[in-house]
């Protein structure tokens, strides 16, 4: 849900995006500052937890095959059918290129550049929001091969981290690590979302993923998260406030190097403290099976794969009608969520139909 809100907000904040509304607001920059530092780290950590649990139930090779089917199939589907409509919106809505959706598909599939109004040419390549699926598959492959080659890899890693993550250290040590990565790696290896050349992102997300894998079956880590949830929440809110003051309220002529330095320290601290707060409070709030969460767990991949394309097509329709403005933020978010929900229900019913049909044929 937060990802949909975040991506819709990109059309209204000061950051570059595929389609921008004619009017902007600093409120949408707050959405970026308050969610972006920790949201993907949390997602990779949760993915690591799931992977760690699955490794206790099946051998690494079997898990690798299952995850390949679960992740690569929707990734390829999205790259082939969901990215071209986003390129269509970008070319027509942001760059002023008058090109049909069919022609965008043709240029995309044949790797033929599109001529822009300024005379430059653009090659339609990219995976947009689907990069997460590729990264998660890549990390899963690395982990499963490591566990196959060294069966004691995870128990050994868990024992080594036990001292570093015991008690309140589970809040402090990873936060320091994320701050150091922002200070030392990010300036030299800025995020690119190119899986072969994205060293800072790999350092952050692979660390989050491995933390989740190690934490998956060790109760002492979860007890430590619960015990530190309150200071983590206070620290996260303090960092969020500091980031807001630093980038949205202070005058623009403040020394840029100091603003960047403090921003990275606050961002790295916020990145982990928010994760600890979310997990700590979730651990005590949801202690039994929840039907809504169980349903959304099954639906989340569908929502993830299609939401950005749906969002951009809805926004582009409003843009063409002259209705894309700050007031359309909530309608676009709600409509995107509704289309995702309907798409999942259609997918679920089609799968049920094919299972019943195959069972009938087998009989």
HSE-up of residue 157 (Cα within 13 Å, Cβ side): 18
pLDDT band at 289 (very low <50, low <70, confident <90, very high): confident
Dist. CA 319–CA 183, nearest whole Å: 39
Mean pLDDT of the chain: 93
The pLDDT value recorded for residue 247 is: 82
Query: With 70 as the cut, is the pLDDT of residue 350 above it?
Result: yes
pLDDT band at 339 (very low <50, low <70, confident <90, very high): very high
Sign of CA dihedral 196, 198, 199, 205: negative
Residue 309 falls within a domain, yes or no? no
The pLDDT value recorded for residue 253 is: 60
The pLDDT value recorded for residue 226 is: 96
Residue 318 falls within a domain, yes or no? no
Residue 7 falls within a domain, yes or no? no
Query: With 80 as the cut, is the pLDDT of residue 363 above it?
Result: no
The pLDDT value recorded for residue 118 is: 87
The pLDDT value recorded for residue 207 is: 97
- Give the domain range for residue 137: 40-294
Which region among 22-26, 112-116, 320-324, 357-361 has the lowest average model confidence (pLDDT)?
357-361
3-state DSSP of 172-231: HHHHHHHHHHHHHCCCCCCCCCCCCCCHHHHHHHHHHHHHHHHHCCCHHHHHHHHHCHHH
Residue 83 falls within a domain, yes or no? yes
**∠ Cα 317 8 272 (to 5°):** 165
Q: Please count the other Cβ atoms lying within 10 Å of the Cβ belonging to residue 190.
A: 11
pTM of the model: 0.94
Dist. CA 22–CA 7, nearest whole Å: 17
Structurally, the chain folds into a number of domains equal to 1
| Coil/strand/helix, residue 297 | helix
- Tokens for 11, please give them: 């059309």
Q: Please count the other Cβ atoms lying within 10 Å of the Cβ belonging to residue 111.
A: 9
User: If you average pLDDT over residues 62-69, what whole number do you get?
Assistant: 96
Residue 135 falls within a domain, yes or no? yes
pLDDT in tens, 100-114: 999 999 999 999 999
Residue 357 falls within a domain, yes or no? no
| Coil/strand/helix, residue 148 | helix
Dist. CA 82–CA 86, nearest whole Å: 7
Dist. CA 117–CA 100, nearest whole Å: 15
User: If you average pLDDT over residues 91-100, what whole number do you get?
Assistant: 95
* Cβ contact 55:286 at 8 Å: no
Which residues are CB-neighbours of 298 under 8 A, at least 6 positions away? 348
* Length of the chain, in residues: 363
- Tokens for 26, please give them: 């600093």
The pLDDT value recorded for residue 250 is: 67
- Tokens for 349, please give them: 């019913």
Percent of the residues in the chain that have a pLDDT greater than 90, as a whole number: 82
Query: With 80 as the cut, is the pLDDT of residue 360 above it?
Result: no
Q: First CA to last CA across the chain, in angstroms? A: 42
Dist. CA 241–CA 30, nearest whole Å: 10
Cα 230 off chain centre by = 25
pLDDT in tens, 150-189: 999 998 998 888 888 989 999 999 999 999 999 999 999 9
pLDDT in tens, 220-279: 999 999 999 999 999 999 999 999 998 877 666 655 788 889 999 999 999 999 999 999
Residue 217 falls within a domain, yes or no? yes
Dist. CA 212–CA 44, nearest whole Å: 8
Residue 312 falls within a domain, yes or no? no
* Cβ contact 275:38 at 8 Å: yes
* Cβ contact 130:78 at 8 Å: yes
Q: Please count the other Cβ atoms lying within 10 Å of the Cβ belonging to residue 37.
A: 26
Dist. CA 80–CA 309, nearest whole Å: 12
């Amino acid at each position: 849900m937060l990802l949909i809100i975040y991506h819709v907000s990109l059309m209204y904040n000061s950051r570059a995006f595929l389609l921008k509304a004619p009017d902007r607001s600093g409120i949408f920059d707050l959405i970026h500052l308050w969610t972006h530092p920790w949201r993907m780290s949390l997602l990779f950590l949760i993915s690591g937890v799931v992977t760690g649990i699955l490794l206790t139930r099946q051998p690494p090779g079997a898990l690798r095959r299952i995850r390949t089917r679960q992740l690569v199939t929707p990734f390829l589907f999205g790259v082939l059918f969901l990215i071209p409509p986003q390129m269509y919106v970008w070319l027509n809505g942001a760059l002023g290129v008058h090109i049909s959706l069919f022609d965008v598909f043709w240029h995309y599939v044949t790797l033929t550049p599109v001529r822009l109004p300024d005379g430059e040419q653009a090659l339609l390549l990219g995976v947009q929001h689907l990069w997460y699926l590729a990264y998660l598959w890549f990390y899963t492959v690395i982990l499963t091969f490591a566990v196959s080659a060294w069966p004691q890899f995870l128990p050994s890693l868990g024992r080594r981290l036990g001292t570093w993550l015991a008690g309140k250290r589970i809040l402090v040590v990873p936060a320091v690590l994320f701050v150091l990565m922002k200070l030392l790696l990010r300036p030299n290896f800025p995020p690119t979302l190119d899986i072969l050349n994205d060293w800072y992102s790999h350092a952050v997300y692979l660390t989050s993923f491995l933390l989740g894998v190690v934490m998956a079956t060790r109760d002492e880590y979860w007890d430590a998260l619960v015990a530190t949830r309150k200071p983590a929440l206070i620290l996260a809110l303090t960092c969020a406030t500091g980031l807001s003051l630093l980038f949205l309220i202070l005058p623009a002529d403040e020394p840029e190097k100091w603003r960047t330095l403090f921003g990275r320290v606050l961002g790295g601290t916020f990145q982990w403290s928010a994760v600890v707060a979310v997990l700590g409070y979730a651990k005590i709030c949801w202690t039994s099976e929840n039907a809504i969460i169980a349903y959304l767990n099954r639906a989340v991949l569908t929502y993830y794969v299609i939401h950005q394309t749906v969002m951009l097509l809805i926004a582009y329709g409003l843009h063409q009608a002259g209705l894309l403005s700050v007031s359309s933020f909530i309608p676009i978010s709600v409509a995107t969520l509704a289309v995702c929900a309907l798409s999942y229900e259609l997918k679920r019913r089609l799968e049920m139909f094919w299972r019943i049909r195959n069972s009938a044929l087998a009989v």
